[in-house]
Amino acid sequence: MDDHLNRLNDAQQQSVTAPDGPVLVVAGAGSGKTRVLTTRVAWLLSEGHAMPGEILAFTFTNRAAREMKQRIAEAAGPGREPFWIGTFHATGLKILRTEGEAIGIKPGFSIFDTDDSKRLLKEVTSSLGLDSKQFNPSATRGAISRFKNDDQTPEAVLQAAAGYVDKKYAELYAGYEEALRRNNALDFDDLILRTVHLLEQNDEIRERYARRFRHVLVDEFQDTNPLQMVLVKLLSSWHGNLFAVGDDDQSIYSWRGARIENMVDFEQFFPGAAVFRLEQNYRSCGNILNAANQVIANNKRRKGKNLWTNDPAGDLLCEEEFVDEQDEAARVVDIVRQETAAGMSRGDVTVLYRTNAQSRALEDALRRGRLPYQIVGSLQFYERKEVRDLLAYLKLVANPADTVALQRVINTPRRQIGDTTVGRLLDLAARYELTPGEAAAETGVLEEELAPAAQRRVRAFFDLVTRWRSRASEGMPVPELLQAIVDDTKFESHLEQEDPTTAASRGENVAELVNAAAAFHEATDGGNLAQYLEQVALVSDPDTITDGQGTVRLMTIHTAKGLEFPVVILTGCEDDILPHINSAEDEAGLEEERRLFYVALTRAQKRVYLLHAGRRRRFGTWQEALPSRFLREVPDECIERRTLTTPQETSLWGHRPTGRGAGHRPRNRTAPPAVRPDQWGNRTAPAKTAANGPAESVDWQTDVDQSRSYYQGQVVTHSIFGSGVVARVEGAGDDMLVTVDFTESGRKHINPRFAPLVPLD
């Protein structure tokens, strides 16, 4: 253990060896927080402070849990890693599988993922006679998730409803909960919510678990939501030993319920807590850290820290401006080639963006450039139709009450069992309080509603399911069971009939699913069907990231958190994208957007490219764009700023050249000969050298009267956006930024220097 402690710096050692009680470690990006967390566990074990079964550690991804277990085994010795290490959802699931009956949760329940929940909500919406366009499943699911994370019951939501929409959401919530009960299913939010309810309502169970866990540790504490905070308090309530590690400057998940206050106000939640700060960075070069520090210092709601490194300053960050997103994407291709020519692999280069919609132009350019890429967080393997179909078969085998799985597969492949037949079957099952399979097997039940031919087809289907369920109960390995389903249903022939052009690739996905089941069987020494379905259900986007060196990775900034890459290309550094238009109008939203920018910068080890366009096509029309306000917060001494020169200067790929001598204009250096406003709208005239005579002023000709003033409430018109009302005016002269609420196109931030606004009053 001494060897492992000696590898830590002083701040890390103090954190690891902190005495009992609540401890908060404010760990900056790249400061070794994972090492501190795992070494803390190893130290507790080695010093006799706890046994492996007395330690509970929460993570936010399965990938992090695996890494933690591996590091603890290396430090404390093989076989000594605690088995209570996992995500909040996985830990809640483990407790509910064992104790759930105490609050009415039946054994063998299904876990409904996002797609399952949407399908169920579609049924509930229809049953209530509501318009699925007004109450679409995605929006309804988001609302219900917020209700659950705030621990609000349907009754409480209805009581607080202020209007028609709120009342209907309350009804949908109530209907959804009843439908989950009928399906013997829990959704992801339930895995934490119902665990909290269990521990709050049952003193004996709460005390048993709280006594058991002498030490509770939480990774990424800044990402906890209120329910997770309650769960942490409940499970650490007996011994009071909570070790929380996180970075409030990387709190970027408020949209899914995370509360930065959990970390910022830690000492109020846990009086007497010891606080340590890890500020030495082992990932990024000095210029990247200087830029990140200066940007995030503009946030007010933070614990405060300053990252530093012993490594050299390294390359300057590179900011580049382009005409549009096509030019920006073409430049991404050039950067990848430039980096690989310099010795990097394609896998060393990662492209980040604020929204998924930005990936389209990037993908097009990479395909044209014949550069292989992986989109992380898009349609993943377990979301593909053929994979979801086969998993639905397994879910139905495991849980006879799962009607969502049933409706997905009862006519896949086609068995001439239509929606009307399925609807009548479900009605019969509900009428007699039976599962659909029980209703099909019960003599006289199907005869009430179904014609003889339909009865035969339904019973034939459930005979197959019963056969598979019997094999599973007899211990048939999961990969063999899955292969039996593929064979018995003639699934590969079904793929060929459905679409011959994609059958081969989809068949490969089926084969890969069987391979994945075989890998699970081997890794778990014969794990059962329920365990396999749990593992699949808890897969998250970061768990699917490959380490292939031949592939450029594209992902959102949210997905990239917790990862690191030698080279980062951040695209779309524009106002209304980063910061996002929906988050930039209030201080809390703007601060979270700034944290997103900070996260993007601190993913990089060696180089950062910050790209933005002057216009971007949205909803079929070109819209002008301004550089992100966060770029102005990056200090000049650690960034090289490259802007457009003349429209005639274009590269082979269609974008403006950005090398030295062609549009290269670092701030605080001599401006290029072409006189034009810089990206912020500032006018810069070419300074003449002594040989050419004194500097001269330039007479700017423009269609815009720069002396014109704008004011809040003023009605204006724009050549593209139409008419609107001024909401806010910032700055003056060339630095003026006017926020306008346009009638047709919504809120826009406009510099009148580039986007003329004509007053209508």
Cβ atoms within 10 A of the Cβ of 301, count?
14
Q: Angle, to 10 degrees, between the axis of helix 452-473 and the axis of helix 385-398?
A: 80
Residue 86 CA to residue 538 CA, distance in Å, equals 10
552, with CB counted inside 10 A (0-12, 13-18, 19+), is buried
Q: Distance of alpha carbon 741 from its chain centroid, rounded?
A: 30
**Non-local CB neighbours of 88 within 8 Å, separated by 6+ positions:** 58, 60, 191, 192, 228, 231
What is the sign of the dihedral through the CA atoms of 485, 486, 490 and 491? positive
Kindly state the tokens that stand for 319: 């900011």
**Non-local CB neighbours of 101 within 8 Å, separated by 6+ positions:** 107
Q: What is the DSSP letter of 200?
A: H
Q: What is the DSSP letter of 743?
A: T
Radius of gyration of the chain from Cα atoms? 29
621 and 283 Cβ atoms separated by less than 8 Å: no
Amino acid at 407: Q
Residues serving a catalytic function are 33-34, 219-220, 250, 603
Task: Phi first, then psi: give them for residue 317, nearest 5 degrees.
Answer: -65, 150
Q: What is the DSSP letter of 280?
A: B
245 and 219 Cβ atoms separated by less than 8 Å: yes
**Non-local CB neighbours of 201 within 8 Å, separated by 6+ positions:** 102, 103
Residue 138 CA to residue 124 CA, distance in Å, equals 13
Q: Helix (H, G, I), strand (E, B), or coil: what is residue 490?
A: coil
DSSP track, 587-655:
HHHHHHHHHHHHHHHTTEEEEEEEEEESEEEETTEEEE--B-GGGGGS-GGGEEEE----TT---TTSS
80 and 53 Cβ atoms separated by less than 8 Å: no
Residue 719 CA to residue 737 CA, distance in Å, equals 17
Q: Look at phi and psi of residue 654 and say left if phi exceeds 0, alpha if psi is from -120 to 50, else beta.
A: left
Q: Look at phi and psi of residue 462 and say left if phi exceeds 0, alpha if psi is from -120 to 50, else beta.
A: alpha
Helices (H) and strands (E) counted in the chain, each on its own, are 28, 24
Cβ atoms within 10 A of the Cβ of 312, count?
9
**CA-closest candidate to residue 75, choices 111, 47, 101, 105:** 47
Q: Helix (H, G, I), strand (E, B), or coil: what is residue 271?
A: coil
Residue 22 CA to residue 233 CA, distance in Å, equals 11
* Strands 722-730 and 737-742, bridge-based pairing: antiparallel
Task: Phi first, then psi: give them for residue 43, nearest 5 degrees.
Answer: -65, -45
Q: Helix (H, G, I), strand (E, B), or coil: what is residue 421?
A: helix
